[in-house]
Structure 1
Amino acid sequence: MSTVTLLTGKARPIAGTGHASAIAKAPVKGPLSLGPEGFTGDEQADRRVHGGPEKAVHHYPRDHYPAWRDEIGAHPLLDQPGAFGENISATGLTEDNVAVGDMFRLGGALIQVSQGRQPCWKLNHRFDVTDMARRVQGSGRTGWYYRVLEPGTVAPGDALVLVDRPAPDWTIRRLWHVMYVERMNPDDLSRMASLELLAEGWRRHARRRLESGRVEDWSSRLEGSR
């Protein structure tokens, strides 16, 4: 059980890019409605790759902030929750102990872990670190997303209470390892492709690798344009 800070944000232009982002999230002080598309008042600038039912809520472990300070040095973004665009900030839950399909009661809502987070180039701009997205991907400190099984009202300080764990072997760490480390393991890719609790987009990646024998080129997603 872990109490949470809730954060939302509005889409704003990213200077010098011609793009917008809602990665800057700020803590909320009162209850929010949580529905299939996320929290009331939260936005995503590019709905092609952000948001939607399988990415309704982004959770990033507060536990990782000290490691990032050690790696990139002191940074004002790391002084408070929301540095990585998360909707939920909490301690005690990490990629090592959270699995795809885990169901949590959060206030009046029931949410389920749907997939890991795939970092994008907007993190580079946010931190002013040219390879921040690549660092996040390479570290495995990615965070994850939830789908909403039962909408409800959620308030800051509510607890995430684990109520079911149907696929305990498929931690977010293992999923990351299949996607980004041992990337062409046919046994793991086959299991991943058939894991119905996993978001369809990730299962599709596994199927494509099995069929093509190739790994995706993530360069444009990680580097973008400055």
Structure 2
Amino acid sequence: MATISLFIGGIRPLPESGRPTGMYKQPASGPLQLGHEGFVGDQQADRRVHGGPDKAVHLFPAAHYAKLAARFQDAAPQLVVGSIGENISTPDLDESVVRLGDIWRLGTARLQLCQPRNPCWKIDERYGCDGIAQFIAEQRLTGWYWRVLTPGTVNLDDELLLEQSDPTAYTLAEAMLCWQEHRPPLADLEKLAASPGIADNWREKIVKRLDWLRQHANEAPPAVKTFHTKPEQP
């Protein structure tokens, strides 16, 4: 069981580049309808990397804000719960205690944990502080995305209730560590790719990496991309 705070928001321009973002969310003021694409009333600016069925809802653990504030003191006053674009915040969960494929009930909806969030350069601009997105990726303070298995209604006082979990599945922390390892054991990557409930796009990347590692056993593998850097053009 985990207590939660809920956030939704529209699209706004970033303060420096003016590029659109859905990161500026506000606390929900009443019951929310949750569908397969996320909460009604919530928006994502760049649908290439945000939103969609396997990124319908984002949870960011509340405890991470203190870690970010300690590392980026100039941005500390802005590093408050709800500010990084999450839909759900909780003080009760983090990446070390949830597992890939976990199914949770929230209100009358059912959610499945399917992948970590890849942080984006827009986080740095949102807080006016370089390096936050990279730090989040390197320290694996990403939070995670849920897919919505059963749409429903979520009230402000609802709690997350664990409905189904495979004790042999990777925790999200273990999964990210395996994915980021320079040359992880192939059996570990195979287990990760076979994880029930894992997002299709992440599974495809894992399978491609497995194929490359098998074919280039004596070569240094390319680094795994763990965060989105700022593109040259809008």
Q: Which has the larger Rg?
A: 2
Structure 1's 165 and 45: CA in aligned 2 closer, same or farther, altered over 3 A? same
* Preserved contact between residue 5 and residue 89 of structure 2 (Cα < 8 Å): yes
Partner residue of 2:72?
A: 72
Which deviates more, 181-190 or 88-97? 181-190
The equivalent position to 2:229 in structure 1, one of 213, 217, 222, is: 222
Q: Distance in 1 between matches of 2:227 and 2:151?
A: 35
Structure 1 residue 149, shift from structure 2 partner: 0.8
Structure 1, gaps ≥5 residues long = none
Structure 1 residue 220, shift from structure 2 partner: 7.8
Amino acid at match of 1:75: A
Structure 1's 217 and 186: CA in aligned 2 closer, same or farther, altered over 3 A? closer
Q: Distance in 2 between matches of 1:194 and 1:169?
A: 10
Q: TM-score, normalised by structure 2?
A: 0.89
Partner residue of 1:142?
A: 142
* Preserved contact between residue 184 and residue 215 of structure 1 (Cα < 8 Å): no
Amino acid at match of 1:164: Q
Partner residue of 1:133?
A: 133
Partner residue of 2:218?
A: none
Establish whether residue 163 from structure 1 lines up as the match of residue 170 from structure 2.
no
How many percent of aligned residue pairs carry the same amino acid? Answer: 39
Amino acid at match of 2:190: S
* Preserved contact between residue 70 and residue 76 of structure 2 (Cα < 8 Å): no
RMSD between aligned alpha carbons?
2.0
Q: Distance in 1 between matches of 2:203 and 2:38?
A: 22
1:1-226 matched pairs, under 5 angstroms: 1-17=1-17, 19-73=19-73, 75-78=76-79, 80-166=80-166, 168-213=168-213, 214-215=221-222, 218=225, 221-224=228-231
Local SS of the residue matching 1:43 = coil
Which deviates more, 23-32 or 175-184? 175-184
Structure 2, gaps ≥5 residues long = 214-220
Q: Give aligned pairs, total.
A: 225
1:66-111, CA deviations, whole angstroms, 9 ceiling, x for partnerless residues?
2122111262222x32122100011110000011111111011111
Structure 1's 164 and 129: CA in aligned 2 closer, same or farther, altered over 3 A? same
Amino acid at match of 1:26: Q
Q: Distance in 2 between matches of 1:220 and 1:18?
A: 20
Structure 1 residue 8, shift from structure 2 partner: 0.6
Q: Distance in 2 between matches of 1:134 and 1:83?
A: 17
* Preserved contact between residue 133 and residue 223 of structure 1 (Cα < 8 Å): no
Amino acid at match of 1:166: D
Amino acid at match of 1:98: V
* Preserved contact between residue 95 and residue 143 of structure 1 (Cα < 8 Å): yes
Structure 1 residue 154, shift from structure 2 partner: 0.3
Structure 1's 4 and 168: CA in aligned 2 closer, same or farther, altered over 3 A? farther
Amino acid at match of 2:186: P
Local SS of the residue matching 2:63 = helix
Structure 1 residue 184, shift from structure 2 partner: 3.8
Structure 1 residue 9, shift from structure 2 partner: 1.2
Q: TM-score, normalised by structure 1?
A: 0.92
